[in-house]
Structure formats: C-alpha cells, structure tokens
Amino acid sequence: MLAFHPVHPVEAPMSDHRLSLASAADLPRPRRWPGIIGRSRTMQDTLELVGRACATQATVLLTGETGTGKEVLANAIHKGSARSEGPFVAINCAAFPDTLLESELFGHVKGAFTGAERAKEGLFQLASGGTLFLDEVGETSGPLQAKLLRVLQEREVRALGGSHTRRIDVRVIAATNRELQREIAAGAFRADLFYRLAVFPIRIPALRERRKDVLPLAEHFLRIHGAREERPACEISSEAQSLLVAHAWPGNVRELENAMHRALALLDPGEPIGPKHLGLAAHTTSVPTDELTTPGEPLRDTLARVEAFLLHRALEQNGGQRSQTAAALGITREGLYKKMKRLGIE
C-alpha cells in the first residue's frame, strides 16, 4: 500500500506490518517509547537500537518475518529523529510492477509512457525533509535496484522520461522479510545496494522470541477491538492464556491481532475468551519455563499453562495421533482425553 501521509500513530491497531504498542512504563530503559509493548529482553534490545537509529541520519534496514511490525518501528524512528516535523511516506515495493514503481518513486514527465497525461512528482520528492519507507525492498528487480543505488549514492533523482536530475533531502528506511545475504549469493539482490541500505541494520524478533509480550499484546488488541465491537472489558481464561503463550505464531503480531479479533466475534455476552474461541492450530515451539510464568500468578494457573504447552508440543510431535501422544507422555489415552478437555485443547 502507498501512503502520502504519516501512518497511524504508534498507539493505533495494526492491519498489516504493524507492531502493537502500549504503556511506556513497560520499558525499564532510559529511552521510553510511548505505547510500545516490549517487556521481553529481545524486544528491549531491539528498542535500544531503534533509539540509537533516531539519533543518526544513516539509512536503516529493518529485517524480520512478515507481521513483526517493521513499518511501525520505521515510523517510530522517524518520529524520534530530527526529521520528525517532515513527512513520513511509505510504499510497499512488492505492490507495483517495475514501471509503475519507478514512476511512483522518481516521478514522471508528461508523455513518459502511455497514460502519463501530466507530470507527477515522485515519493523521493514528496518525502523531502522527512523519511521515505521502502517496504519489501527485497522484491525489487535488478534494474530498479541499480536506480535505487544511484539515488542513495548521488542524492538526486531523475523523473521517468525526464532529462534533468533534482536534488533530494530525504532519509531512507528500508525493510524486508527476505534473507538478503542469501539473495545476494543467488544473484537476486545487488550486494552494493545491500551495503548502502544496511548502514544501520535492525532485526525485529519474531513473536515466538518474545513470549513475555504475547499476553500484554493480546490484552492491547482486546481493548482496541473490544471497544469497536462493543465488547469492552473482555477477559482471557487461564487455559486460553496458556495456548496463547505456547503458540508458535508463524504470522507474528498480525496473526495474534487477528486471533483476538476473531475471539471477540465468537464470544457470548459476559463470556471469557477460552481456547475454543482462538482457533489456533497446534504450532508450538520449545519455550523456557520462565517464559511461561507470570509473577504473582497462582500456582494452579502456572501449572495449567505449562501443562497445556507440553500437551500441545507432544501432539504436534506425534502428528496429532492421540494414542501415540499418550504413550509418549506415559499416560493412558483416557487420561490424555481428560487433560485435553480440562485445558480446552481440541
């Protein structure tokens, strides 16, 4: 998607490439980020780098899986930088064919191609004095990569079909979910452009790497969507909390937001969110025990959370076969059924 204005404030809900944000008090760091949920050590370390990126004009390359919130952090870097009064302009490079993407970025003169009935300024010029966010830059073609490299080197652009160059004053933040080093080895991405983009690289952790943020994020989405769906003050049962923490979240924060929105749609009035409302597939990964615990939580709830995680992992490892899972756990099949029913595991 293309935007000619600042994206939603960091407190806003995310519909794509968004990272949830909450109380600044959650971060025991000298630099506070209003609204950003980042209680886990991995996210705190990431936010420390974001803070350092704010203090420089260097080009930033954000990497990480789809749905981790690259655009939100790009916007946070812009808002915390000396360019915060300028525009934040974002474009998804994967959403346009080459010719149109070149026109969007660099502009075009009248008659440059069929349908170009009038001249148009490009995003490099529209972002003057601010930040241009190139999302999914790894999807660009070789010829366009060469043109991007020239812009970053010379700090000037030439409109499509034009004969003159114009100086630009813009900071570039790029993002990709691809492993660009592998793309370079395969000949799909230019090494010289990579080094121009990755002056200040920041890797955004996947949600499964920051499990202490899962429940605060879930509650954040409940507050946002609960108000919109006229279902305020919804609670999450301890069994559902166990599943949320144990889930591998291949779709990251976006998947979590969708799961909470779906749960709200399935709830009866006054009903807490349970495992049946989440609709989560049995994707789990190994989790340190301290990631499954919450300070001050009753022992019963902690044990239920850990037990649900272990059952999910065993079911996944045994292909969902309950007899094999029971044997692997050293319990009877009937005992497994009872535990699954008690913990709300389908």
Task: Tell me the per-residue pLDDT of 137-170, one tens digit each, with 9 for 90 and over.
Answer: 999 999 999 999 999 999 999 888 777 889 999 9
Q: Are residues 135 and 222 in the same domain?
A: no
pLDDT > 70? residue 16: no
CA atoms of 233 and 264, how far apart (whole Å): 11
Does 47 lie in the same domain as 22?
yes
Spatial contact of 24 and 34, defined as CB atoms under 8 Å apart: yes
**Where a domain ends, among 181, 205, 229?**
205
Answer yes or no: do 173 and 220 share one domain.
no
For residues 144 and 223, membership in a common domain is answered with no
CA distance 322 to 265: 30
Which of left, alpha, beta for 240 (phi over 0: left; psi -120 to 50: alpha)?
alpha
Question: Do 245 and 149 lie in a common domain?
Answer: no
- Same domain? 196 vs 264: no
Domain boundary among 180, 205, 230: 205
Same domain, 270 and 181: no
Q: Residue 33's pLDDT is what? A: 74
- The tens digit of pLDDT for each residue in 28-43 reads 344 567 667 888 999 9
Listing DSSP states for 94-128 in one string gives: GGS-HHHHHHHHHEE-TTSSTT--S-EE-HHHHTT
Q: Where are the alpha helices (DSSP H) in the chain?
A: 41-54, 70-79, 98-106, 123-126, 142-154, 180-185, 191-197, 214-228, 238-246, 252-266, 275-278, 299-317, 322-329, 333-343
Overall domain count for the chain? 2
pLDDT digit string, tens, across residues 206-225 = 999 999 999 999 999 999 89
Shared domain check, 220 and 108: no
Kindly state whether residues 8 and 66 are assigned to the same domain.
yes
Whether the per-residue pLDDT at 20 is higher than 80: the answer is no
Residue 12 pLDDT grade (very low, low, confident, very high; cuts 50, 70, 90): very low
Please say if the pLDDT value at position 17 is more than 70: no
| Amino acid in position 23 | S
Last residue of a domain, one of 156, 183, 205: 205
Instruction: Specify whether 40 is located in the same domain as 184.
Output: yes
Strand 2-3 relative to strand 165-167: parallel, antiparallel, unpaired?
unpaired
Q: Which CATH number belongs to the domain containing residue 135 in this structure? A: 3.40.50.300
180 and 278 both lie in a single domain: no
For the segment 250-279, the average pLDDT, to the nearest whole number, is 91
Q: Are residues 43 and 62 in the same domain?
A: yes
CATH classification at residue 331: 1.10.8.60
Is 90 exceeded by the pLDDT of residue 304? no
- Tell me the whole-structure pTM to 2 decimals: 0.73
The residue written with tokens 């000037």 in the block is 156
| Residues 93, 135 contacting (CB under 8 angstroms) | yes
Q: Which domain holds residue 284?
A: 208-343
> At 203, which helix (H) or strand (E)?
strand 200-203
